[in-house]
Amino acid sequence: MDENLPVIRISVRNLVEFILREGDIDNRTGGGQDPENMQMGSRIHRKIQRQMGSDYQAEVPLKTEIVCDGFILKIEGRADGLIHTKEQVMVDEIKGVLRELDLVQEPAGIHLAQAKCYASMVAEQEGVDEIGVQMTYCQMETEEVKRFQYSYRSNELKVWFDEVIRQYEKWAKFQIEWRKARNASVKRIEFPFPYRKGQRDLAVSVYRTILRKKKLFIQAPTGVGKTISTVFPAVKAVGEELGEKIFYLTAKTITRTVAEQAFETLREQNLKFKVITLTAKEKICFCEETSCNPDDCPYAKGHFDRVNDAVYELLMREDVMSREVLEAQARKHKVCPFEMALDVSTWVDGVICDYNYVFDPDARLRRFFAEGGAGGYLFLIDEAHNLVERGRQMYSAELCKEDFLAVKKLVKGEAPRFAKRLEACNKILLAMKKECENYKVLDNISHFGIQLMNVLSETDRYLEECVDKEVRETVLDFYFQVRSFLNIYDGLDENYVVYTEYQENGRFVLKLFCVNPAANLQKCLDKGNSAVFFSATLLPIQYYKRLLSTEKDNYAVYIDSSFDTKKRLLMNGVDVSTRYAMRSREMYQRYATYIFRVVKAKMGNYLIFFPSYRFMEDVYQEFTQLLASNEEEMELVIQQKHMDEEERENFLRAFEMGREKSLIGFGVLGGIFSEGIDLTNEKLIGTLIIGTGLPQVCNEREILKSYFDQKGLYGFDYAYRYPGMNKVLQAAGRVIRTEDDRGVILLLDERFQREKGKEIFPKEWADCERCRLDIVEEKIRLFWEKQTDN
């Protein structure tokens, strides 16, 4: 065997799931044959293996190498069991299920194919003419076992296995040939722009981090060029085989577009680098309702019979897998665009996607991030400040007492056993409810967890037989909630607080609250080689390092702003406050006067950000009266709750239009317009930030405060001050987007002057001036006069 030939590795499971899948997409079952996302499945495996006696060899590693045309294909796997008796050698494949075993009439085709691959490998290894295969299904609630046994001639099995390998060979050959062309093109590319201040250091830091397989936290102001400065060294690293694939992770659609542009810029130098942008299923689905089954969706029917041809053709033809390209290919081959896109992602060099595809236990791409798997992935995590709260959401779960009663009411007539299980959980929740006044932290809910497993099993059984479509949809939604809760429950540790709470709408919930998501995020990051977290607002850096990774030796860099601070006026109004004790009509009038005088000093477009909708509405009312009394005309747009996509676009479009009057946009701190929007030059010349951005006091924030206080980490900072300051920094960042921009940033709250507030200002805010209402207009006029002179 030529050791110089390149090697392609694939697991037995991935091989058979890819080559031998067939039929329809159908999400109508509860998923009872796929419990492997739950740790309980692994425990069942181990228990069965221990019971099998001395002839049984558990967790047997297997591999085979096949010399193909120009490369070696290495197929690896681990058989659950190998049984040696006098009569026969037998491979045992164990699957845990939640459904009743009398519903399992035969092994799933993919499960049996996996076992047959192992059997062929064992037969060749041991030189036997015949080999047995045993499929062991275990019901996870009752631990009842059902087995299916088969016997195969080794030569026939080898012919079958060789045919599976032959079908995969063209895919492996594509990998080898593409990688060679890609790596050669990467060597030729150079950084596409003259380096700005700090940009070269940033790119070098990213490359070194990847080289050393570390993690890097980057605080870099707007205008440095973070996206291209992270993408370029990551592409270089992939070309030098320091990484297998880039995952560019974002929280918002607009940053995905910037990432696409960065790859496109490098492609102008003839870079060969296949990149896909993943779009959420609900957005890319061709049907009015996302109902993934062959009865409701023609693209689900026979999807797996056609999808491999669709993917291969696309890979041969395209390097840029945009939403439009994916949709066109899916329509051509009549396959689901979302599922096809996930398959395409396996073969490309870069994946641009939302955080949840990597981190969310319910949505992550299991082909890359399943338990036990790992790859040479490079994670570029844009707007990383968002990942703290997103992480908490992804790794938390809750169940509502009222939902148990609602499902019980639906099923009690036809499924009394199911209803009984639901009532058992309801009784436990009722007892919790009686002991809870507002919210209550709990030490142990193991008794509830046991009953909930019974509910999950009964739900799965019910879904096998339910024919009423509306009832099925309600029960299926409930099933996914319960399954998600149990998955989170399985991983409870010191990073969680479990509590019950009365919600504002009167519903009673039990919540598993992931207070510190670092450990869960770390498990996902460990699937790759390296990770780079970057944002314009990653301050204080220690806060983010502690909540986004458990490692202590992560790197951090602070890139100085390349922007000339003389082009920006930053002031803090110290004679106003948003503290509750200070709120009054007089204070609202004072804020309205601040806005009026700033805008009077210079006609243009302004954004005003408020701590809440209520505060915004009160100031807005005073401002409109002030305009009327002064006979002034200004155009006003105001953010509404629950704006749809068209309404958001109309709000932003107002800033794109030329006008002869000032435009003032009223919005909410931390809302859709306070970060991620790009209004350059004259589109926005000033931002007023009213309040320090502190989140409103609520049970969850108080739980956070208490948790971090107990850790000796200043709980108020972790629960309120740091998240609030991030909102302020993001809102302030809307003004200065390019080196040519000029503008005014006004912080309107006396609390910014306190030491705790000022110590987390970025370095470039050292020139922040104090001001008062009586001098603000004069200061701003003077600033703009200087800009005119320059």
* Rounded (10°) CA dihedral 622, 628, 633, 635: 40
CB 175 within 8 A of CB 8: yes
Q: Shortest CA distance to 375 belongs to which of 213, 164, 260?
A: 213
Rg (C-alpha) for the chain, rounded Å, is 30
* Reported confidence tier of residue 42, pLDDT bands at 50, 70, 90: low
What's the confidence (pLDDT) of residue 34? 46
Q: Give per-residue pLDDT as tens, 470-499.
A: 898 899 999 999 999 999 999 999 999 999
Across the range 681-689, mean pLDDT stands at: 94
For residue 3, pLDDT beyond 70: no
CB 598 within 8 A of CB 780: yes
CB 120 within 8 A of CB 154: yes
Residue 531 DSSP SS3? strand
* Reported confidence tier of residue 1, pLDDT bands at 50, 70, 90: low
What's the confidence (pLDDT) of residue 187? 97
Across the range 442-464, mean pLDDT stands at: 91
Residues in CB range of 296: below 8 A, 6 or more apart = 287, 289
d(CA 191, CA 183) in angstroms, rounded, equals: 16
What's the confidence (pLDDT) of residue 31? 46
Structure tokens at 367: 């082909």
* Reported confidence tier of residue 680, pLDDT bands at 50, 70, 90: confident
- Fill in the DSSP letter of residue 219: E
Element (H, E) at 47: helix 39-50
- Fill in the DSSP letter of residue 671: S
For residue 505, pLDDT beyond 60: yes
Q: Which ranges of 334-442 would DSSP assign to H, the alpha helix?
A: 337-345, 356-359, 366-369, 387-394, 401-411, 416-434
Residues in CB range of 515: below 8 A, 6 or more apart = 392, 495, 496, 497, 703, 704, 707, 708
- Fill in the DSSP letter of residue 399: E
d(CA 252, CA 312) in angstroms, rounded, equals: 30
Query: Buried (b) or exposed (e) across 251-262, using 16+ Cβ within 10 A?
Result: beeebbebbbeb
Q: Give per-residue pLDDT as tens, 319-337.
A: 999 999 999 999 999 999 9
Q: Shortest CA distance to 607 belongs to which of 689, 709, 515?
A: 689
The domains located in the chain, with CATH, are: 7-171 (3.90.320.10), 191-273+350-395+517-562 (3.40.50.300), 286-348 (no CATH), 397-514 (1.10.275.40), 565-789 (3.40.50.300)
d(CA 337, CA 330) in angstroms, rounded, equals: 5
